[in-house]
Structure 1
Amino acid sequence: MKHISGRIYSSKIAFACIFLFSAGSACAQQKTTLPVIQQVKFKNDTTNIITFGAKGDGVSLNTQSINKAIAAVSQKGGGVVLIPGGLWLTGPIELKSNVNLHLKRDAILQFTDDFNQYKLVEGNWEGQPAWRNQSPISGNNLENIAITGTGIIDGNGGAWRMVKKDKLTESQWKKLTSSGGVVSEDGKMWYPSEKTVKGSKTKNAGVIQAGKTAADYEDIKDFLRPNLLVLTNCKKILLEGVTFQNSPAWNLHPLLCEDLTLRNLQVKNPWFAQNGDGVDVESCKNVLIEGSTFDVGDDGICIKSGRDEAGRKRGVPTENVIIRNNVVYHAHGGFVIGSEMSGGAKNIWVYDCSFIGTDIGLRFKTTRGRGGVVENIYINNINMIDIPGEAILFDMYYAAVDPVPLAGEKRETIKTVTVPVTEATPQFRNFYIKDVVANGADKAIFFRGLPEMNIKDIHLENVTIQARKGIEIIEATGIFLKNVNVITEDTNPVVQIQNGANVSVNGLKYKDGSTLLFNLTGEKTKGIKISATDVSKAKKSSNIGAEVGKNAMEISK
């Protein structure tokens, strides 16, 4: 697809994609047809923002000039609004239907650090209705919109973000604290202002409450950081070629959108940027993310659908998503679902992606209270190197902390209790993961479900992971591992199963001379079937806890 004189030449992206799992395995052949994502189309007319008085001198504030240009082009039936070479300082920009905002290669669109330019608006934060500062770029109830080109959009996020001392060098910390702002009483956190400090100490800061107006949140306004780009209830969207960087919070946040294409983007945030996600696709339908690079401070490519009761009440899943040919560098997770997935997520295809140095590779997270069903997820051809945490992780005890503990940080062990199943009980089921290679991880594979709602029907095939630790399966049912090769430093055990049921391991490979191959614990552990695996290469093939049934494990050739 090419951009020429403001026109987008579209092509349909529907074709049969077959994720084949070997005959005879527990994974049946999955025949799936990828969704069709409708594309944008614009008039040939191009309007330069200079004609509306904009000045690219890095000093003049161009908010009115840019917004007038966008509004004028939209009123005429649409076209291209051109941002030429220059450093264009601006306040919030509001997109309009049928407009393609196009940035030249030598154009930098930088948003002002004057917080007074950002009014408080009713928006959404982490899946709940909330007051936020107006996003640098936003659009509501629009159709046929685009941001294209090869220029840079900079959110000036350093003016907004609080920063942990542990995440900076000593010289960086000294420079930051000498610039102004406020240091916490314990000396471990820097805040841009007193309003940010107060907001950080306010429970449910910014959450919309009946009878309160924007004025009631003025004393914590600076804490309510905006996402760089927020599009809400929009249809037919294209983001292509541009660099989005340095966001106050999330970089890209499409919410309740349909027919969304992200192509060949560069999305960047400092690695220490709190809530510095790359893209968070929330309650959207028909989405394509391809050919893009992410290097951010939180999750890289993330799927969401609302949080807890608010998300369940909205009841709109993220569905029909294609994610392909992307690279994720630093991020808390390369491809992520959750934790705010209360409206559900389904029919998602992820393939031909590389994760380099992401804290976790494939990351699926939720917790009690969320509710929502995540299902029918197809992942194929993933390559990873230097993963500090787990290469593949399913965790239903997400605790809103960094995935990799900082040096000296201690975390309490999860205490397992069973609670009744309600609408607030989340579910993960029907994942198909094939052809994954990871060179370097702390742990190869980790499953941790809830005792009242196990992770269910997870299929892994042709997976090779070099890691410090092997495989851990907790409170999971219907786990199918075929041709999995784990090369681990810690071989005691290679595979830990705790309260796992109907686990099939076919063709497992592991390091010769491993101390213990399988360790089974938990009174609910049963139906463990091992086949096509040479258990004799381990010093001890299995250890079965006293509470585990005698016939829980079956080993066959």
Structure 2
Amino acid sequence: MKRPLFTNLTRATAGAAVLLLIVSCCRTRTPNAGDGDYPSWMPAVGDPAIPARTVCVTDFGGVGDGLTLNTEAFRLAIAALSEQGGGRVTVPAGVWYTGPVVLTDNIELHLERNALLLFSDDKSLYPLVETTFEGLETWRCQSPISATGARNVAITGEGVIDGNGDAWRAVKSDKLTAREWAAKVKSGGVLSDDGRTWYPSESYKFGATSGADQNVSTWAETREDFERMRDFLRPVMVAIHHCENVLLEGVTFQNSPCWNLHPAMCTNLIVRDITVRCPDYAQNGDGIDIESCRNVVLTGSRFDVGDDGICIKSGKDQAGRDRGIPCENIYVNNCVVFHGHGGFVVGSEMSGGVRNVLVSDCLFSGTDVGLRFKSTRGRGGVVENIRIENITMNNILQEPLLFDLFYGGKSASEAHADGTSAAASTDLPALPVDETTPAFRDIHIRDVRCRGARRAMFFNGLPEMNVERVTVENTSIHAQTGAQINESTDVVLRNVEIVPEQGPALLLNNVKNLTVESFSCPEELPCALSVTGSRNRAIAVRSSRITMERSCFSVGAQRSVTIE
């Protein structure tokens, strides 16, 4: 499908504009324990303590004319406040062209209405720094906004922060129209050897083709090695690492070179009433990646991006296990995700573990997947104690609910297009279980409504480590095909309606201790239930819509099924 350029993003999302306006007008406060559905295990998280002291960037020579480089003005303003113990740097209406901004203890960056903070496309302003990205310690270009090891940090207001990401990103030809692709090629840069990908420079192409684990080089060791591929090492737009008491409120973050927001190893994080936008062709243009953070409240926010919308992570493979910092105590409420690879996502870098998460009252429209849980052999880590409720979805390109422990680094739509997303229809061999084996368990999902999807659900566990103890209840999904559950144990489907356009409503392969209660599907389906595989055990179905006559079994599979 052809994708519009970022300059046409408003046109592409015009249908969502009214809803965005309505949601943006409904400001929310941060809840506390005991408020409604706020979980009892979640501690109260308060706003950072910013001193009541204010300076304006214009006091330090800042000029909002869109031409003057204001890097030094921001540095001086922050330094002056820091010497006095902190306070607020205000950015008035105007276009504030700048290089990197570094926040320190007790500093709030406040954008007034009609203030646009536009980061320069001069890459020499963003030196290589040691940082964390995709769960690994590595080198990347300095982020446009960053804070490291700080306490009481805030970015607030009603303005816009723009990362000038088109200057950094590669683009695939099939993501653009023919006219847009021709314009991109004419603008400069270089093409891939097959002519299907545009790179902004030879440096970027070298980094992308010289050996990389996703977006992190697998061979570079010295700083000189990384310098050779400098343009490939796109920065996260806002990197808040190892900080305590952080607030992001009200601001629109858009057009990042890579991930938009990356809080990592933070404690007490509030994200409230923000908007995050990226063109839908923006590879790795995630909305927010919350990594190894503790005590996080994300409410009343909107995401329209080119990759995962709201993503929870905790480090990758051995590095993540060695770090050993889980992402825990996470509360997500009243958020909207338009487009992107996933609405709410856990993984795939979850090697340090994820636990104690509540997601409620959210809407996903036009995403590849709604609720996306992903990992693969080699990650390790445990994802557990997740509760999800009151989720509305529409026009989901793949699955409203996806557990995939065979994640291969592609979006669900890309995996489907190249044929790598299908569940095993035969028995895959189990591998030995060790610290590298990921586990997803104790996940409870209820009150989900979805109209429009390719497949109703897809559970794809490992033979040696099934997806375990998952409950789905009070859920209605209209999709092209039914729910497919593969290599899963202790699954309960209660009061679930699946309306497929074709094929069985429920397809099971190598499941154990699965209970189906009050299941609903169209009466005219010739085969409502399909069961395959040799490792099925204790499948109990209690539904008037599923009978032996309306079920299909592979050889020997019927022995594991009881239908009442």
Q: Do both share a fold (TM > 0.5)?
A: yes
Task: Give the Cα–Cα distance (whole angstroms) in 2 for the partners of residues 219 and 368 of structure 1.
Answer: 31
Match of 1:36 in 2: 44
2:491 maps to a residue whose letter is I
User: Map of 1:218-367 to 2, 5 A cutoff?
Assistant: 218-367=227-376
Closer, same or farther: CA 547–532 of 1 in aligned 2, 3 Å: closer
Q: Secondary structure at the match of 1:424?
A: coil
**Are the aligned partners of 1:131 and 1:208 in contact in 2 as well (CA < 8 Å)?**
no
1:410 to partner: Cα distance: 4.5
1:17 to partner: Cα distance: 5.8
1:465 pairs with one of 477, 495, 509:
477
Deviations 1:119-156 (A, max 9, x none): 00001121001110000000111001100001000000
User: Map of 1:97-496 to 2, 5 A cutoff?
Assistant: 97-204=105-212, 212-405=221-414, 409-411=418-420, 416-490=428-502, 492-496=503-507
Closer, same or farther: CA 149–124 of 1 in aligned 2, 3 Å: same
- TM value normalised by structure 1: 0.92
**What is the root-mean-square deviation in Å for CA atoms of aligned residues?**
2.0
Q: Which runs of 5+ in 1 are unaligned?
A: 1-8, 20-30
**Are the aligned partners of 1:61 and 1:90 in contact in 2 as well (CA < 8 Å)?**
yes
Please identify which structure carries the higher helix content.
Answer: 2
**Are the aligned partners of 2:520 and 2:543 in contact in 1 as well (CA < 8 Å)?**
no
Match of 2:513 in 1: 502
Deviations 1:87-146 (A, max 9, x none): 111111100111110001111001110010010000112100111000000011100110
**Are the aligned partners of 2:299 and 2:334 in contact in 1 as well (CA < 8 Å)?**
yes
Closer, same or farther: CA 477–120 of 1 in aligned 2, 3 Å: same
Please identify which structure carries the higher strand content.
Answer: 1
Closer, same or farther: CA 433–209 of 1 in aligned 2, 3 Å: closer
**Are the aligned partners of 1:16 and 1:33 in contact in 2 as well (CA < 8 Å)?**
no
Which deviates further from its counterpart, 180-189 or 448-457? 180-189
Task: Give the Cα–Cα distance (whole angstroms) in 2 for the partners of residues 87 and 161 of structure 1.
Answer: 23
Task: Give the Cα–Cα distance (whole angstroms) in 2 for the partners of residues 370 and 75 of structure 1.
Answer: 44
1:99 maps to a residue whose letter is I
Which deviates further from its counterpart, 164-173 or 492-501? 492-501
Match of 2:54 in 1: 46
1:15 maps to a residue whose letter is G
2:542 pairs with one of 510, 531, 534:
531
Q: Secondary structure at the match of 1:502?
A: strand
Count, aligned residues:
533
Closer, same or farther: CA 404–52 of 1 in aligned 2, 3 Å: same
Closer, same or farther: CA 467–450 of 1 in aligned 2, 3 Å: same
1:542 to partner: Cα distance: 1.4
**Are the aligned partners of 2:42 and 2:295 in contact in 1 as well (CA < 8 Å)?**
no
Match of 1:518 in 2: 529
1:547 to partner: Cα distance: 3.2
**Are the aligned partners of 1:380 and 1:433 in contact in 2 as well (CA < 8 Å)?**
yes
Match of 1:6 in 2: none
Q: Secondary structure at the match of 2:290?
A: strand
1:16 to partner: Cα distance: 6.4
Task: Give the Cα–Cα distance (whole angstroms) in 2 for the partners of residues 143 and 129 of structure 1.
Answer: 22
1:61 pairs with one of 52, 66, 69:
69
**Are the aligned partners of 1:122 and 1:131 in contact in 2 as well (CA < 8 Å)?**
yes
Deviations 1:435-467 (A, max 9, x none): 000010111111010000000000011000110
1:520 to partner: Cα distance: 1.1
Q: Secondary structure at the match of 1:57?
A: coil
2:395 maps to a residue whose letter is D
Which deviates further from its counterpart, 522-531 or 429-438? 522-531
Which deviates further from its counterpart, 397-406 or 64-73? 397-406
**Are the aligned partners of 2:207 and 2:217 in contact in 1 as well (CA < 8 Å)?**
no
1:213 to partner: Cα distance: 3.9
Which deviates further from its counterpart, 199-208 or 426-435? 199-208
Q: Secondary structure at the match of 1:390?
A: coil
Task: Give the Cα–Cα distance (whole angstroms) in 2 for the partners of residues 210 and 221 of structure 1.
Answer: 14
**Are the aligned partners of 1:526 and 1:549 in contact in 2 as well (CA < 8 Å)?**
no
Task: Give the Cα–Cα distance (whole angstroms) in 1 for the partners of residues 261 and 526 of structure 2.
Answer: 47
Deviations 1:314-372 (A, max 9, x none): 01100000000000001100000000000000000000000010110000000000000
2:275 maps to a residue whose letter is Q
Match of 1:13 in 2: 32
1:193 to partner: Cα distance: 0.2
1:187 to partner: Cα distance: 1.4
Identity %: 46
Task: Give the Cα–Cα distance (whole angstroms) in 2 for the partners of residues 337 and 400 of structure 1.
Answer: 14
Task: Give the Cα–Cα distance (whole angstroms) in 2 for the partners of residues 521 and 261 of structure 1.
Answer: 46
Q: Secondary structure at the match of 2:179?
A: helix
Task: Give the Cα–Cα distance (whole angstroms) in 1 for the partners of residues 394 and 420 of structure 2.
Answer: 26
**Are the aligned partners of 1:121 and 1:214 in contact in 2 as well (CA < 8 Å)?**
no
Task: Give the Cα–Cα distance (whole angstroms) in 2 for the partners of residues 202 and 289 of structure 1.
Answer: 38
Task: Give the Cα–Cα distance (whole angstroms) in 2 for the partners of residues 542 and 511 of structure 1.
Answer: 13
Closer, same or farther: CA 337–11 of 1 in aligned 2, 3 Å: closer
1:229 to partner: Cα distance: 0.5
1:72 to partner: Cα distance: 1.3
Task: Give the Cα–Cα distance (whole angstroms) in 1 for the partners of residues 93 and 47 of structure 2.
Answer: 27
Q: Secondary structure at the match of 2:181?
A: helix
1:13 to partner: Cα distance: 1.3
Closer, same or farther: CA 183–260 of 1 in aligned 2, 3 Å: same
Which deviates further from its counterpart, 371-380 or 398-407? 398-407
2:174 maps to a residue whose letter is D
Task: Give the Cα–Cα distance (whole angstroms) in 1 for the partners of residues 30 and 40 of structure 2.
Answer: 20
**Are the aligned partners of 2:66 and 2:96 in contact in 1 as well (CA < 8 Å)?**
yes
1:423 maps to a residue whose letter is E
1:11 to partner: Cα distance: 6.4
Task: Give the Cα–Cα distance (whole angstroms) in 2 for the partners of residues 166 and 528 of structure 1.
Answer: 44
- TM value normalised by structure 2: 0.91
Closer, same or farther: CA 280–389 of 1 in aligned 2, 3 Å: same
Task: Give the Cα–Cα distance (whole angstroms) in 2 for the partners of residues 207 and 497 of structure 1.
Answer: 37
Deviations 1:479-510 (A, max 9, x none): 000000011101x2211111000000000000
1:218 to partner: Cα distance: 1.4
1:15 to partner: Cα distance: 1.6
